[in-house]
Homo-oligomer: A and B are copies of this chain.
Amino acid sequence: MPRAGLSPDAVVDAAVAVVDVGGPGALTLAAVAGRVGVATPSLYKHVRNLAELRHLVTSRVLEELAERLGEAALGRSRDDAVRALMRAYRDYVAEHPGRYGAMEQEAAPEDDAAAERLLGILYGALRGYELEGPDLVHAARCLRSAVHGFAVLEAAGGFGLPADLEASYELLITMVLGGLSGRRPVA
């Protein structure tokens, strides 16, 4: 039995490949083991259990997303930055729907460095607006909600026809930008 030259990273690579083709439900230790050409229990030398593997996949996706968003927002500010960020977000999800859907939902941002980093990028993009403490938090939450909601619905095929999704997303961007430009409802 020659060694497979495995490593935790290689296992996550395989796991990502699995969800890319089969969706979140296909993420099983047997599938990952089969893909790397190894018996299922061998994976336990590199990964504690399935739960940890899922966690690692989530972190991987968050890292990739943060990378892309960081690039997109680089050298831009205010509306320009947010627009670029939102477009990059959707592009990533459109390229890897299974990967995005495989992220675990219960992940609290605090326990994951990648989540923290992504959140930091969001806050960075919002820096150009004059938003103090709580208002900044509200803005970031709304940005996340809009972007994530659209991403989830699109990745899961929740929208009927895929027609004109770009135009829909542009409207969403417009909504967010309008809301960020500080138009208060009453005041």
Q: Across the interface, which residues of B come within 8 angstroms of A177, CB to CB?
A: 185
**Segment of A3-11, A68-76, A157-165 in the binding face:** A157-165
CA distance A142 to B156 in the complex (A): 16
Query: 17 more A-B contacts (CB under 8 A) besides A108-B160, A175-B175?
Result: A105-B152, A105-B158, A106-B156, A106-B157, A109-B160, A137-B168, A139-B171, A142-B150, A142-B171, A144-B153, A145-B150, A146-B172, A146-B175, A148-B153, A149-B150, A170-B185, A174-B179
Question: Considering the chains assembled together, what is the distance between the CA atoms of A64 and B125 in angstroms?
Answer: 38
Q: What are 5 residue pairs bridging A and B, where the CB atoms are less than 8 Å apart in the complex?
A: A107-B156, A134-B164, A134-B167, A141-B165, A141-B168
Number of copies: 2
Residue of B nearest to A139 (CB): B171
Asked whether, in the complex, the Cβ of B156 is within 8 Å of the Cβ of A105, the reply is: yes
Query: Closest residue of chain B to A106, judged by CB?
Result: B156
Residues of B within 8 A of A170 (CB): 185
Q: How far is the CB of A111 from chain B (nearest CB, A)?
A: 11
Interface size range of chain A in the complex: 35 or more
A132 at the interface (CB under 8 A from B): no
The interface residues of chain A, by DSSP majority, are classed as helix
Partner among B138, B157, B159 whose Cβ is within 8 Å of the Cβ of A168: B138
The distance from the CB of A126 to the nearest CB of chain B, in whole angstroms, is 12
- Report how far A134 CA is from B149 CA in the complex, Å: 20
Instruction: Give the top 5 A-B pairs by smallest Cβ distance, nearest first.
Output: A149-B149, A175-B179, A145-B149, A145-B150, A105-B156
Q: Which of A147, A164, A174 has the most CB of B within 10 A?
A: A174
